[in-house]
Structure 1
Amino acid sequence: MGIKVMIVDDSAVVRQVLGGLVAADPGLELLHVAADPLLAMERMKSAWPDVIVLDIEMPRMDGLTFLRKLMSERPTPVVICSTLTDKGTATSVEALAAGAVAVVAKPRLDLKRFLQGSAAELVATVKAAARANPLRLAARACAPPAPPRYSADAVLPAAPARALARTTDQVVAIGTSTGGTQALERVLTALPRVSPGLVIVQHMPEKFTAAFAQRLHALCAIEVREAANGDRVRPGLALIAPGGRHMLLRRAGAQYHVDIVDGPPVSRHRPSVDVLFRSVARSAGANALGIIMTGMGDDGAAGLLEMRGAGARTVAQDEASCVVFGMPREAIRRGAAERCVALDAIDREIMALQAGQGLA
C-alpha cells in the first residue's frame, strides 16, 4: 500500500494536476480530493489519509481553520499549497506554526505548468511529510530523480586553518528543516533579551523567510529578522537566512558579519545548513555553538562535524522532541554532536555558552 494522500483545494486545476501526479507515483495512493474542508471532512469519515495537501484560501472554511481543527482532534501531516502573495505568505507561516509540515509555493499564473514542472519536488515533499511524527506536530519510498548533489565545497571550499582565538562575541548557529518553524519558535521565545547572536538556516521557500522572521520578532524578546548582506551578528539578534540564497559567517576583527550569496543547492538545499556551519567553523571556531534540529535528510551533519573539529560546542535535538529525526540522527551517527538534548533544553544550552559554562 502506498502513502494515502488527500488533496483539498478549490482550484480544479490543482486537484486535477496534483491528483495525476499522486496517482502516477507507485509510492503514493490518491485517496480523496475535495474542493473545500467541509467536503474533505465528509470524505475522511470513510478513510483517513496519511498526508493532506491543503490550500489556504477556500470557500466555506479556510485552510488555516481546518488545519487547527485537524491538529486538535487527530493530528495528521499536512503540506500547505499556497500562492506567492503577501497575504498567502503570511498565512502560510501561520499554518506552519499551527502544525503544517511544509509549504509548497504556487504562483497565480501558469499554475498548471508550474505544478507539472515541479512534480519531483512536490512528490518528494509529500513523501517526506508522511514520515513526520504527528504527535510532535500537535504539540506544536524511493526518492525522485534529483539534481546534482553538491557539498559545501560548491559555495565555500574547505580550509585547513586552525580555529580562531577566543573573542568577546560568540555565535550560535542553528540548522533545521521539517518541523523547524515550531521548534524555532519554542527556542527563540524562551531566550532573554540579551543572548548570544544567532545565525539560522530554516529550509523554507523564497519569500517565506521574511514573513517567518517578522512573526518570530513579534513573539520574542530578542530581535529577529531576515538576514541582509553585511549584517553584524550581535547579542540579542537572530538572523534568518533568506530563502533561495546561502548565508555565510565571516569575521571582521573581533566581530562577526554575514554574507548572503548565490550558489548551487548544497545537500539539496539553498540556503544550506552545511554551508552556514562550515563558514562558522572557519570564522568562529571555539567561539561558536552549533545546534542541529528537527528535519528530513542530512543537511548540516557534515558542517556540524567541521564545527566540532574546529573547537565549537555541538548539540543535536533528541528524537522524542523532533517532528522528523533525520538531520539530528545523521549528525549523531557521524559523531558531529557532543550531546543530544530535548527541544525545551536548547535555550539553556545557548545561554550556557554566553555564561562561559560550556554545555549545560
Structure 2
Amino acid sequence: MQKLVLIGASTGGPGHIKKLLHDIKIGSNTILIAQHMNKLFLPSFASQLERETGVTSELLSQRSLLKSGCIYVCDQNFELTDALPLSAKPSEAVTTYSPNVDLLFHSGVKILKNIKTMAILLTGIGDDGAKGLNELQKAGAKCLAESEESAIVYGMPKRALELNPNIKSLSLMSIKKELEEFLNVF
C-alpha cells in the first residue's frame, strides 16, 4: 500500500523540513508539504529540497496526480481528492495562511481507508494545522507534533497538543526517526 506523508510548517519550517528530509529514503511513497511562505519563494524552496535530499521535488501548482517517490511543495491552498490514484487539487477556500495546513490535513481524512498516512506538524506561529492534525489523529492517521524542545516557534504544535493530548510530541530528530520507520515498514 502506498504511503503518504503530510507536513505542515510556518516560521522556522524550511530549515526544519530540510533537516527532516535530508538523506530520507522515500521509496514508492509520497510527501506533500504545506509551508507558509510567499509564493515567489516556493519554487526555490522546492529546488533546494531536491538538491539537498536527492529526491525528486516538485512545486504543486495545479490539479495533479501525485507520483510515488516524489516530494511536493504546495504553492497555494491544496486539498487531496478522495479518488484514486492519489491526487490533489487547488482549494478555493480563502484562508489567513497559505498554503494552508488545516485544509491539507483535513482533506487527508477522506483518503485514510486507501492510503496509509502520517501527518507532521512542525514549528510555526499561530494555530494552522492544529485542527486538521486532531481530525487526522482521531481518524487513525499516525500524527506527530514537534516538541517545544526543538521548535523555533512553539505555536502550531502547542495548539495541536492542547486540542488533542494523544498526539505524539517529539523533537525534530525523533520525528525523523519515526518518519524513517513509517516509510520503511511494509
In the alignment, the residues of structure 2 paired with residue 250 and residue 337 of structure 1 have an alpha-carbon distance, to the nearest angstrom, of 27
Q: Tell me, yes or no, if the aligned pair for 1:196 and 1:350 is still in contact at 8 Å.
A: no
Is the CA contact (8 Å cut-off) linking 1:198 and 1:233 kept in structure 2? Answer: no
TM-score normalised according to structure 1 size: 0.49
Q: CA separation in 2, counterparts of 1:174 and 1:337?
A: 18
Q: Tell me what 2:167 maps to.
A: 338
CA contact (8 A) 1:249 1:257 kept: yes
Matched, 1:280 2:113: no
- TM-score under structure 2 length normalisation: 0.91
In 2, are the aligned partners of 1:171 and 1:198 still within 8 Å (CA)?
A: yes
Structure 1 pair 232/351, CA: closer, same or farther in 2 (3 Å)?
Answer: farther
Q: 1:187 deviation in Å? A: 0.9
1:199 matched to 2:27? The reply is no
1:190 aligns with 2:23: yes
The answer as to 2:34 corresponding to 1:240 is no
Native 8 Å contact 1:296 1:324 kept in 2: yes
Question: What is the aligned length?
Answer: 185
Contact 2:27 2:183 in 1 (8 A): no
In structure 1, stretches of 5+ residues that fail to align are 1-167
- SS of match in other structure, 1:276: helix
Instruction: State the identity %.
Output: 28
Q: Distance in 1 between matches of 2:33 and 2:26?
A: 17
In structure 1, give the amino acid aligned to 2:77.
H
Quick check: 1:314–1:337 contact (8 Å CA) kept in 2?
no
Residues 1:337 and 1:250: Cα distance change in structure 2 (over 3 Å): farther
- Output aligned runs, 1:76-87, within 5 Å: none
Q: Please tell me whether the aligned partners of residues 26 and 183 of structure 2 are also in contact (alpha carbons under 8 angstroms).
A: no
Instruction: Flag the structure with more relative contact order, 1 or 2, with Cα contacts below 8 A and sequence separation at least 6.
Output: 2
Deviation at 1:336, TM superposition (A): 6.1
Q: Does 1:298 align with 2:131?
A: no
* Pairing partner for 1:256 from 86, 106, 114: 86
SS of the aligned residue for 2:8 comes to: strand
Structure 2 CA distance, aligned partners of 1:177 and 1:239? 16
Name the CA distance, whole Å, in 1 between partners of 2:80 and 2:176: 21
In the other structure, the counterpart of 1:22 is none
Identify which range, 215-224 or 198-207, moves more after superposition.
215-224
Instruction: Report runs of 4+ in structure 1 exceeding 6 Å deviation.
Output: none
Following TM superposition, by how much is the alpha carbon of 1:311 offset from its aligned partner in structure 2, in angstroms? 0.9
**Does the CA contact (< 8 Å) of 1:195 and 1:351 recur in 2?**
no
| 1:312 equivalenced with 2:172 (yes/no) | no
Question: Using a 3 Å threshold, how does the CA distance of structure 1 residues 337 and 222 change in structure 2: closer, same or farther?
Answer: farther
| Helix, strand or coil at the partner of 2:79 | strand
CA contact 1:291–1:316 (8 Å) conserved in 2 = yes
SS at match of 1:251: coil
Structure with bigger gyration radius: 1
Amino acid at match of 1:234: K
Residues in 1 aligned to 2:34 and 2:102: alpha-carbon distance in whole angstroms: 9
Q: Deviations over 1:40-65 (max 9, x none)?
A: xxxxxxxxxxxxxxxxxxxxxxxxxx
Answer 1 or 2: which has greater helix percent: 1
Residue number among 145, 168, 180 corresponding to 2:13 in the alignment? 180
Determine helix, strand or coil for the equivalent of 1:172: strand
- Give, in whole Å, the separation in 1 of the partners of 2:80 and 2:43: 19
Deviations 1:282-336 (A, max 9, x none): 2235721111000000000000011012110100111111100100101011116
Conserved 8 A contact 1:292-1:328: yes
Counterpart-to-counterpart distance in 1, 2:19 and 2:108: 23
Which residue in the other structure is 1:351 paired with?
180
Deviation at 1:173, TM superposition (A): 0.6
Whole-Å Cα distance in 2 between the matches of residues 331 and 318 of structure 1?
11
2:81 counterpart SS class: strand
Corresponding residue of 1:144: none
